[in-house]
Structure 1
Amino acid sequence: MHCWKAYHVNRKHLFFRRFFISFLVSLFVFIAGYLTLHAVSAQTFDDDYFLVFLCSLILLYPVHKLCHILPIVTYYKYMKWEFDRHFYILPVIHLQFGCPIPKAQFGTALVFPFIILNAIFITGVAIYPQFGHYFTILLSYHNGLSVFDLLLFKSLLLSPKHALVEENEDGYEILVENDII
């Protein structure tokens, strides 16, 4: 096996840069989603269930991380969890695997939270338009969380078909088998 490409997340995008890019994506998605919702729906927004919204907002990050694990749950015994804090209050969960994972499974794990949770939020807007502003905030926050997952997924799409993905302390390495001549 040899490294086809190394994707150094921490060197390429420091935490504050990732935070800023995620914030900008969240802001853009909120503005576009809220304006669309406001233009399409003549429903007045309701501020009931604010505590439910607040709890959902707090639990969104751990649920997002849990959704990453579901497609690769068979590799659970190789998983290493690390918890970190930024800004003294912002918890950050790091997941690392001690073995290479097939590209298809790793790619599925990257986009799974994006597809599932965004579908839930968009369905919530359709079913409960009076709480559309809550769902739009959750959708925008979640898209901000998913930005770098989608960037890594894009680089995975360009890799060879039967590649493996291995994590290290700097980021990810895409491994391919040596060709025997």
Structure 2
Amino acid sequence: MFCWKSVNITRDFGRTRLAIVSISAAILFFLFFYLFLSSFVEITTVNQYGIIPFIIGLFLVPLFHKLLHGLPIWICGKRARLTLKRTGKIPVLFCYIPNKISKGLCITSSLFPLLTITLFSTIGAIYSPEHLPYLAIYATINFGLSVYDIIYVNHLIKAPKSSFIEDHLDGFHILLNKAS
């Protein structure tokens, strides 16, 4: 038998405050990421491909972010699906997990996009310094999206080790095994 604790980040923090925290964290991340890498990598020229490929890259970052959320779950043989949901006028892509999963898998799935895209951006900037500004912007957008994930992981870390996580429209539920 399970009892649950409901966690809804937007209800707890407010949508506007989360957006401000996310944008502020992304700006700080860009400053540190770009300054850190530009101090190690010599940038002689910056390749410019035009605005269209840059904008396409901006739209691909959230898509890859959501796909990377599902990858650890799919590798473990669990189900996860990407769904498009309207929040106001803007359609937003969500990674929905219909079954309960372990706490460890949920933490891995939450942090996987942050670690993967940041790592590939760092490696790409080291081996191709002429693309550093683009990679820094893409990594920054990913970090801004990952602020929500970091807050979720903060809640998950406080949950008991043997708990399971269930995805819901209003957030997620932490299921605790109560022996009767």
Q: TM-score range by the shorter chain?
A: 0.7 to 0.9
Structure 1 runs not aligned, ≥5 long:
none
For 1:168, the equivalent position in structure 2 comes to: 168
Deviation at 1:171, TM superposition (A): 0.9
Distance of 1:97 and 1:131 partners within structure 2: 35
> Structure 1 residues 170, 140: closer, same or farther in 2, change over 3 A?
same
CA contact (8 A) 1:45 1:133 kept: no
* Contact kept? 1:79, 1:96, Cα under 8 Å: yes
SS at 2:78 equivalent: helix
Distance 1:21 1:70 in 2: 27
Query: Which one-letter code corresponds to 1:169 in the other structure?
Result: L
Aligned mates of 1:9, 1:166 — CA distance in 2: 15
Q: Which runs of 4+ in 1 moved over 6 A?
A: none
Equivalence for 1:59: 60
Q: CA RMSD in A?
A: 2.1
Distance 1:37 1:95 in 2: 31
CA distance in 1, matches of 2:135, 2:164: 36
Q: Is the 8 A contact 1:45 1:132 kept in 2?
A: no
**TM-score, length of structure 2 as denominator length:** 0.86
- Structure-2 separation of matches of 1:119 and 1:132: 13
CA contact (8 A) 2:121 2:135 kept: yes
TM-score by length of 1: 0.85
SS in 1 for 2:170: coil
CA distance in structure 1 between the aligned counterparts of 2:47 and 2:130, rounded to whole angstroms: 9
- Could you tell me how far apart the structure 2 residues matched to 1:120 and 1:42 are? 18
Question: How many equivalent residue pairs?
Answer: 176
Tell me the distance in 2 between the aligned counterparts of 1:142 and 1:45.
25
- Over the matched positions of the two proteins, sequence identity in percent amounts to 25
* Residues 1-181 of structure 1 mapped to structure 2, 5 A cutoff: 1-3=2-4, 5-50=5-50, 51-73=52-74, 74-76=77-79, 79=81, 81-85=83-87, 88=89, 90-180=90-180
Per-residue CA distance 1:80-116 (angstroms, 9 max, x = gap): 7242255x4x541133333211112211111111111
Contact in 2 for aligned 1:80/1:98 (Cα 8 Å): no
Deviations 1:116-142 (A, max 9, x none): 111110001101111111111111111
Distance 1:97 1:8 in 2: 16
CA 1:169 to 1:83, structure 2 compared with 1: closer, same or farther past 3 Å?
Answer: closer
Extract unaligned runs of 5+ from structure 2. none
